Chain A
């Protein structure tokens, strides 16, 4: 294990001791993502705000008296909102209309909302939009400002304790879930693609590059167990690809303000410590899995170019799976959480959208540990083959 650490240290030094390597491996991915998404976000934002004459169709159900002042014709004309109203508890038809584009937004107030406010029974306010519709996102922009004003007026005019208001509106979880859904749609794809890209850039060179340059022979002559050598390579490649993906992640976070209108993110999304830990575990497993997979390609190959060629199909599969996961509806069949790569993507999606169950997380973690162990075992076997190690 001590020797594995030494191998790992040298491989890490390859990156951390050279500013150009630090830039290309750790900074550039985040920077590129930031630029791409900032540009995309700005473009989308201008697309939405570009249609200034469009009247958003917002349907309000059980509108309480306290909210009437925000639904007047004056407000409607000013903000370009075409209000319609309804009542009842069964809103299926209205939500279907939203889905079909008859409405841009549906706001549902719980029955006797004002009474609930007065009695502190935490009445529910739900806002439904259609993520894929630009006009719905535009309507969401307009209504979120009004809801904030509404909250402030309740506080000022009714003298409700701010903590109670906060508690009452905390039960309005749809916005948070909606934001989470937006993140859960894009982040898993970005994370999977960038972790694999990071693994490819480092892993392809880790063994094939050393073979090609003749530097692996000097390492093989050192009194070091081949298992330690492999573990050192797996650790260093995983760490670099993990850091690279964190850089990408930070790039996405930095670009979030530009992406709000693109993905309908209103305000923020609140994740607990548990969610962050789950994310960390799954991303670490993804980095180790991707690294091990690319290292297998690198070991079989005679050159970096060949290793990249072997790893490219794997990368494309990962990319495809990640993109498909973006559009996949949430399913709970446990076996899905054991499918390589796909399980990571839906695992990430489940964590970000608050839908992942403990049993599903366990399957994701255990199955990936098994896959990683299998790949490391395969690497050990390959390292015992002279034909593979000395192929040139």
Chain B
């Protein structure tokens, strides 16, 4: 996969990236800001079309964006909900794009709103909610269609400790239910804590891709942060 998607028209944002993820695992894309994590996730989610290469989502090529979107729940901190509407309104609004019947919508709403403790502010305008509450509603809305693949760009960015914990717990719960979870993050401890496999991405290329346990075992006495900096330093010298 190759994408030229940066402010600099001559810079390639992502180059020669290749990885697979599986059902029942959390895959982490670990990298510094500007490394190409978000661009990669946007490509998988069909928000951006890659210049070269192929992306297959459960056997469906990402050129078929509508089919891919039915399988994916994409979350990012860049996604916000409109301030003047309530969680109830927005949940039903987005649910209808997935052609869900009213009964299913209400069932999904009950499940997710209960899971994320949204019921108490389900009729409050988004603009009046705290950042954590908004994040919970965003998650619920993006999972309205019970997707098999959950992509979360920087899942704990900007969240308070309690909401961050709710989010990471939920991602692990999804993994345990057999869903595929892909996250991007620059927080090393988060990778160690919840990811099964990790791809370390530096300057648009994946420099290492393995299970977290293998990476840690192969680098005895080092944590993920030290391993990342070793790879990063080596790469900077090469450049």
Contacts and interface: CB of A to CB of B under 8 A. Distances in A.
| Consensus secondary structure, chain A interface | helix
A6 B96 contact: yes
Interface residues of A, number: 20
Interface in A204-238: 210, 213-215, 217-218, 220-225
A10 B78 contact: no
Contact of B97 (A213, A214, A224): A224
A215 B84 contact: no
Interface size for chain B: under 10, 10 to 19, 20 to 34, or 35 or more residues?
20 to 34
A219 to B, nearest CB: 9
B82 interface: yes
B82 A221 contact: no
Given A220-B47, A223-B69, A213 B96 contact: no
Contacts of A278: none
Contact of A223 (B49, B97, B142): B97
Contacts of A14: 82, 84
B66 A223 contact: yes
A161 B47 CA distance: 77
B94 interface: yes
A327 interface: no
A221 B93 contact: no
A218 B94 contact: yes
A221 B84 contact: no
A224 B99 CA distance: 11
Contact of A386 (B5, B45, B82): B5
A390 to B, nearest CB: 8
A266 interface: no
A335 interface: no
B70 interface: yes
A221 B5 contact: no
A229 B82 CA distance: 16
B82 A213 contact: yes
B134 to A, nearest CB: 11
Contacts of B138: 218
Given A6-B96, A386-B5, A221 B81 contact: no
A220 B74 CA distance: 10
Contacts of A214: 78-80
Contacts of A10: 93
B17 interface: no
A3 interface: yes
A215 B80 contact: yes
B98 interface: yes
B98 A221 contact: no
A386 B39 CA distance: 11
A6 B81 CA distance: 16
A87 B201 CA distance: 98
A223 B70 CA distance: 6
Given A222-B94, A222-B97, A224-B97, A217 B69 contact: no
A351 B49 CA distance: 49
Contact of B47 (A3, A213, A215, A221): A221
Interface in A2-49: 3, 6, 10, 13-14, 18
A23 to B, nearest CB: 15
B70 to A, nearest CB: 5
B88 to A, nearest CB: 13
Contacts of B49: 386
A40 B172 CA distance: 69
Contacts of B96: 6
Interface string A285-312: 0000000000000000000000000000
Interface string A43-84: 000000000000000000000000000000000000000000
Interface in B92-117: 93-94, 96-98
Given A14-B84, A213-B82, A213-B83, A221 B74 contact: yes
A386 B78 contact: no
B26 interface: no
A225 B66 contact: yes
B76 interface: yes
A221 B78 contact: no
Q: Which of A213, A214, A215, A218 has the most CB of B within 10 A?
A: A218
B204 to A, nearest CB: 16
Interface in B37-65: 42, 45, 47-49, 65
B118 interface: no
A6 B78 contact: no
A164 to B, nearest CB: 63
Contact of A213 (B76, B80, B98, B142): B80
A221 B45 contact: yes
Nearest to B77: A214
A215 B141 CA distance: 12
A283 B76 CA distance: 42
Contacts of B89: 13
Contacts of A3: 97
A218 B97 contact: no
22 contacts: A3-B97, A6-B96, A6-B97, A13-B89, A18-B84, A210-B82, A213-B83, A215-B80, A217-B47, A217-B79, A218-B81, A218-B138, A221-B74, A221-B142, A222-B98, A223-B65, A223-B66, A223-B69, A223-B98, A224-B66, A225-B66, A386-B49
For the complex of A and B, the 9 pairs showing the least CB-CB separation, nearest first, are: A214-B80, A222-B97, A223-B69, A217-B79, A218-B79, A223-B66, A221-B74, A386-B48, A215-B82
